[in-house]
Structure 1
């Protein structure tokens, strides 16, 4: 299903600070263990590739793009770098960040908490012409998704673009088996997803969906929702 993006890189000692929930730590450990098997399980990313192509056609040359939940860097960060954009990726998993740096040396990757990316946070990465969040917001409980969307809004320049994808499912912080590990996921039905995005001051300008069957048996088929949005100012 997805990559995540909720954790700060606190240094080589791998210390998780007091207050960091075990679920978040467990999500990171699950994706550390999954590694390259993620791309093996999801080899065909038609919707994700098409969504990035839409963004490439809509952005000016050389725009800065933030990839939230950048995973292994494939295919999105590489696709955007090859199109000539300045790409910054952040992810929950140290293992995923290491793979992304290997796969896409032309981008910059960080292990950071989205809550620390805003203008008042300790890791202000600046502003971006676009943000992509492909299957990363679903790693959050629903109660945290509106705040994450508002952070995305703040990271964008005026009229900046936001492209996201979720799996269509009416679930909240639901535990599932995933590539031999356990992760917790949330989802929305499509009308509810549009509503929560619009309530975060985005205008949805295009949407699409794809039926997807992963290449392995322990991950069920899914309906993938893609929204292309612009920031309301």
Structure 2
């Protein structure tokens, strides 16, 4: 693997492919069903953290439009700049998701779609423990993770000329990490993509 810092590869890669990524993955309509399920699980006007928020569409845009308070975090300055322009009613922070900090019991939900898979494996369990702390009692963690284990680089991601780096464990390991963080996995499903796919977890913090 390239000895360059993998987080720098991720940051630079998303800086370069920001618009191309939205086009390739259908930003206007992706996650529609998932977001509908999120709305049904959290109180109206609740607070949601979007870890790996990208350009703010569709998660921050759609939830903010429905009256939720949304805070988005992304490592890419370009993604955050676009998110602030597209969703001015939400708050966006340019930061490493594994290093950001919030007060305990701050959120009704934490969502993270296709972002954990870019975080070095040793940093994922500590991040999951912090996420559990950030959730209010009864709050939800909704995230895509790896389905099969993989760590590596793609040199020409989405035909952009930019490299991208991934690091993820298999679904069983992710389930264990989420449970050990203090959350209860309520639902798990396979999300196909190309010849492979990802795991989608719905996990909940217990009520007091």
CA distance in 2, matches of 1:56, 1:79: 10
Task: Pick the aligned partner of 1:105 from 73, 82, 88.
Answer: 88
1:195 maps to 2:176: yes
Match of 1:39 in 2: 22
1:168, 1:189 within 8 Å by CA — same for their partners in 2? yes
1:164 maps to 2:171: no
Match of 1:16 in 2: none
1:212, 1:223 within 8 Å by CA — same for their partners in 2? yes
**RMSD of equivalent CA atoms:** 2.2
Q: CA shift at 1:28, angstroms?
A: 0.9
1:65, 1:87 within 8 Å by CA — same for their partners in 2? yes
1:114, 1:151 within 8 Å by CA — same for their partners in 2? no
Aligned to 1:207, what secondary structure does the other structure show?
strand
Residue by residue, what CA displacement relative to the aligned partner does 1:87-123 show, whole Å, maximum 9, x if unpaired?
A: 010100000001111221221111023344335xxxx
Task: Pick the aligned partner of 2:121 from 142, 145, 148.
Answer: 142
CA distance in 1, matches of 2:111, 2:149: 22
Residue by residue, what CA displacement relative to the aligned partner does 1:11-42 show, whole Å, maximum 9, x if unpaired?
A: xxxxxxxxxx7322232111111121011111
1:130, 1:160 within 8 Å by CA — same for their partners in 2? yes
CA distance in 2, matches of 1:145, 1:31: 20
CA distance in 1, matches of 2:141, 2:50: 10
Q: CA shift at 1:164, angstroms?
A: 0.4
In the TM superposition, 1:169-184 aligns within 5 A as: 169-172=148-151, 174-177=152-155, 178-179=157-158, 180-184=161-165
1:62, 1:86 within 8 Å by CA — same for their partners in 2? yes
Aligned to 2:145, what secondary structure does the other structure show?
strand
Sort the Cα spacing of 1:145 and 1:168 in 2 relative to 1 into closer, same or farther, 3 A. same
CA distance in 2, matches of 1:135, 1:45: 16
2:146, 2:171 within 8 Å by CA — same for their partners in 1? no
2:148, 2:170 within 8 Å by CA — same for their partners in 1? yes
Aligned length: 201
Task: Pick the aligned partner of 1:225 from 186, 189, 199.
Answer: 199
1:118, 1:154 within 8 Å by CA — same for their partners in 2? no
CA distance in 2, matches of 1:80, 1:32: 24
Match of 2:59 in 1: 76
Aligned to 2:72, what secondary structure does the other structure show?
strand
What TM-score comes out, normalization by structure 2 length? 0.87
CA distance in 2, matches of 1:166, 1:114: 15
